[in-house]
Amino acid sequence: MQDTSRPIVLISGAGVAGPALAFWLERCGIEPVLIETAPTLRTDGYMIDFWGVGYDVAEIMGLLPQLKRLSYDMSEVRFVDDAGRTAGGFSADLLRSAVGGRYFSIPRSDLAGEIYRSLEGRVETIFGDSITSIEQDDAAVRVTFHHAAPRQVDLVIGADGLHSRVRQLVFGPEADFEKYLGYYVASFTVEGYPHRDEGDFVSYGVPGRQIARYALRGNRTAFFFNWAEDRKLPFDHRDVVAQKELLAQRFGGAGWETDAILAMLPSCSDLYFDSVSQIRMDRWSTGRVALLGDAAFCPSLLAGQGTAFAMIAAYVLAGELDRAHGDFARAFKNYDTTLRTFIESKQQSASRFGSWLVPRTKGGLFLRNQVTRLMSLPFVGDWMMRSAFSDNFTLPGYRIGRAAPNASAGQGAAS
């Protein structure tokens, strides 16, 4: 790094990974600067199951009390038929039991917002702008932007998601690293939808398509769509109008409440729409530039833990930068070595989950629903959940973790 009293790290992306990294960097004497394409914090996204090592990181950060206030205690995952009758499902208590009660559901945007609020006012954030070029040498990185004046910084971290601009500029086009898994996902929220089923995640499926809803506070409802596509669709991920039209085409006339839900689509302002893809890279850094979270190793929504992985990776990257005392090359290497086996195993698991989440045949739907019924049997559900909900990873015991607001409460940190 440059010989300055406080090295500067530019972080592209103010979702989960970027602010989480900024949180830790600030605690080890490094100055983070966030840049975000959106004019404000994003409100789109989806409901996530929050547990495991990501939960541990949030606890070390001292964020659990705030996150729990924003969270939801799901009662049941319920699969229904066209008439709304229960066809399968399981109690959410099985999930909680599998992880010792350290589990809750929370909208991703609420989690991201709480992380950002924990550092707001202390970390410079540039909204409504993006990086246009990155040039680096042995001494520094020079960055230009669409609007802001050019800057020279010590490191650049791309925490800008599946469609990372930093990755494109420094490592190459997205197609070189993307593994499309054969599915798409969408979600949005609206007010005033009449069917609530408070506490239940209610899901309906036909071959190759799955739609679900969950009641939120303030008379809002969140809707979730997953569907199979053999090939990637030729759409612009920034074209919301085209995305809404495509979603209506794919799910129109599918049965159950689908048409009533689609009728709410034109009025929504927070549509999330994307392919279910993974990012697989042989290396997550080059020179003074590194990638973090989905930009480096998107596990896909099928993994169900992308947000948690981002928080884990932010903690590890900051911890290694702190340990390295300016030797960023060593820090980046150790960051990769510490996480790669864990991340790749989760990616492999996720790539096999699509046929369970979105069965492509009537027989597959029937089998999935019947298996979930068996989970109510003694020991069966507990065994299945413990097999699925496990993290074979121990958090390193970095100095920054011991100095964090609630470090003594963390679980699983190794010294």
pLDDT top residue among 162 and 44: 162
Q: Tens digits of per-residue pLDDT, 292-314?
A: 999 999 988 766 678 999 999 99
Residue 15 to residue 37: CA distance in whole angstroms: 11
**CB 166: neighbour CB atoms within 10 A?**
26
Q: Is 342 helix (H, G, I), strand (E, B) or coil?
A: helix
228: which 2 tokens?
């199979």
Residue 407 has pLDDT above 80, yes or no: no
pLDDT in tens, 126-177: 999 999 999 999 999 999 999 999 999 999 999 999 999 999 999 999 999 9
pLDDT of 329 higher than 70:
yes
**245-293: per-residue pLDDT in tens?**
999 999 999 999 999 999 999 999 999 999 999 999 999 999 999 999 9
Query: pLDDT tens digits, residue range 176-231?
Result: 999 999 999 999 999 999 999 999 999 999 999 999 999 999 999 999 999 999 99
Alpha carbon distance 260, 193 (integer Å): 9
Q: b or e along 211-238 (b: 16 or more beta carbons within 10 Å of the residue's beta carbon)?
A: bbbbbbeeeebbbbbbbbeeeeeeeeee
Given 3.30.70.141, 3.40.50.720, 3.10.290.10, 3.50.50.60, which CATH number is that of 8-73+105-177+279-355+393-414?
Answer: 3.50.50.60
- Output the pTM of the full model: 0.91
Quickly state the pLDDT bin for 346 (edges 50, 70, 90): confident
